[in-house]
Amino acid sequence: MTTKYVKKINGQRLWDSLMDMAKIGATKKGGVCRLALTDLDKQARDLFISWCKAQNCTIKIDKMGNIFARRAGTDDSLPPVVMGSHIDSQPTGGKFDGIYGVLSGLEVIRSLNEHNIDTLHAVEASVWTNEEGSRFPPAMVASGVFAEVFDLDYGLSRADLDGITMGEELKRIGYAGQEEVGKRELKAFFEAHIEQGPILEDEEKTIGVVTGAQGQRWYEVTLTGVESHAGPTPMLSRKDALLGAAKITTLVNDIGLEHLPNACATVGLMQVMPNSRNVIPGEVFFTIDFRHPDDEVLLKMDAKLREMSEEIANDLGLTMQFEQIWHSPAVHFDQRCVESVANAAEASGYSARRIVSGAGHDACYIARVAPTAMVFVPCENGISHNEAENATPEDIAAGCDVLFQAVLAQAIVQ
């Protein structure tokens, strides 16, 4: 259904909030580095909470550090309509990924207050911990605990490359909350986000009505050979772990190309030991990321990767540790919530198209426990996870307008 309200959000206020938040962890190239549960993450969380309190929101924090800022409804016994995303970034991240969804939620609450609109259901803006998975793999850990994909002990025990756990860092920065994780009913969940791809921009569409998300599989691989001097060791006598990693990297790329147009296959992190210019590498650790909207195709990609990687390791005389550390099946969002987004775009006069997300989002896990949908807006050249990430103030405002209307459609009715 469409809502009778046609009032708009304040696009300039939203943009100013985004730019103020972007100062926290700002990089020289115009992006942000705000890794999960660092002091910068804490600073950004504190700022968000201060803004929410200024709107008379009550704040609750759960044991995974997820934040819920609540604007009461006229019947506060009913489950809330929740909006949100994440504050943490990639090491060379942009100013919009994640934080746009958080601050759009705040702007909806500001606009409800400004226009004196009462809602039957409470409306909440949320922050989900460690969505990126850059510091603490895998991605979307805290929303995964909320949705009972992972248990609490698993979530709190996730460690960074220095062995520091999420639980330790939550306590250190003061965000180890008391509320049980996931023990709350949601009427609906909406997440606004930049597309992180080129489709909307290429087709000159303002709004992406997100119907679901690709399935994903993440792997960690360690190849072990023999460290040896780069000069005296004959080529045919070598057990070069980096050569094996290079061949598997090529295999990963080939598997992606074999399943076009929807497959994505990436080796994104690699650690070479001892990493010396005149020593044949004896050990290499690296990661693999597979994505496809069809779980059956993703399974075929998985099977070929496992079979061919084993052959490569055996042919080179290497031992291999191969572990799938995360599997997120393809997601299909709630049809009623999707229609709320589509109706809001139409009522607001924005051009729109239905789209499947190529990236994972907290909404993908929340969809397991609550009716969920997403709103996409274009980003310049489709670039994200990059300091050059950019979006226009007009598109940013349009996405939040649509979020505002979609949330109202759910929050004003039983």
pLDDT digits (tens, 9 = 90+) for 17-37: 999 999 999 999 999 999 999
Same-domain status, 201 and 125: yes
Same-domain status, 273 and 286: yes
Same-domain status, 191 and 286: no
Give the whole-number percent of the chain exceeding pLDDT 90: 95
Look at residues 302, 328, 354 and tell me which one is the last residue of a structural domain: 328
Same-domain status, 179 and 263: no
Asked if 165 and 66 touch (Cβ cutoff 8 Å), the reply is no
CA 407, CA 84: separation in Å to the nearest integer? 12
Residue 3 has pLDDT above 80, yes or no: no
Q: Is position 1 within any domain?
A: no
Question: Quick check: helix, strand or coil at residue 177?
Answer: coil
CA 134, CA 173: separation in Å to the nearest integer? 18
Q: What is the mean pLDDT of residues 148-177?
A: 97
CA 174, CA 42: separation in Å to the nearest integer? 8
Let me know how long the chain is: 414
Q: Is position 298 within any domain?
A: yes
Q: Is position 268 within any domain?
A: yes
Strands (E), 72-187: 81-85, 123-127
Same-domain status, 237 and 348: no
CATH code of the domain covering residue 141:
3.40.630.10
Residue 2 has pLDDT above 80, yes or no: no
The pLDDT-based confidence of 328 (bands split at 50, 70, 90) is confident
Q: Is position 120 within any domain?
A: yes
C-alpha gyration radius of the chain: 22
Same-domain status, 292 and 320: yes
* pLDDT 10s digits, 238-263: 999 999 999 999 999 999 999 999 89
Q: What is the mean pLDDT of residues 38-62?
A: 98
The pLDDT-based confidence of 6 (bands split at 50, 70, 90) is low
Q: Is position 107 within any domain?
A: yes
Q: What is the pTM of this model?
A: 0.84
**How many Cα neighbours within 13 Å face the side chain of 207?**
29
Same-domain status, 295 and 158: no
Same-domain status, 116 and 260: no
Residue 134 has pLDDT above 90, yes or no: yes
CA 146, CA 222: separation in Å to the nearest integer? 31
* pLDDT 10s digits, 204-234: 999 999 999 999 999 999 999 999 999 999 9
CATH code of the domain covering residue 313:
3.30.70.360
Same-domain status, 308 and 361: no
Same-domain status, 179 and 240: no
Same-domain status, 208 and 114: yes
User: For the chain, what is the mean pLDDT?
Assistant: 96
Residue 380 has pLDDT above 80, yes or no: yes
One-letter amino acid identity for 165?
A: T
Q: Is position 4 within any domain?
A: no
Q: Is position 2 within any domain?
A: no
Look at residues 293, 328, 363 and tell me which one is the last residue of a structural domain: 328
Contacts 24+ apart (CB under 8 A), 274-278: 274/227, 277/230, 278/229, 278/230, 278/231
Domain that holds residue 21: 11-214+330-411
Same-domain status, 279 and 357: no
Q: How many CB atoms lie within 10 A of CB 414?
A: 7
The predicted pLDDT at position 358 comes to: 86
Number of domains forming the structure of the chain: 2
Look at residues 275, 295, 328 and tell me which one is the last residue of a structural domain: 328
Residue in the block written with tokens 């924005």:
350
Q: Is position 258 within any domain?
A: yes
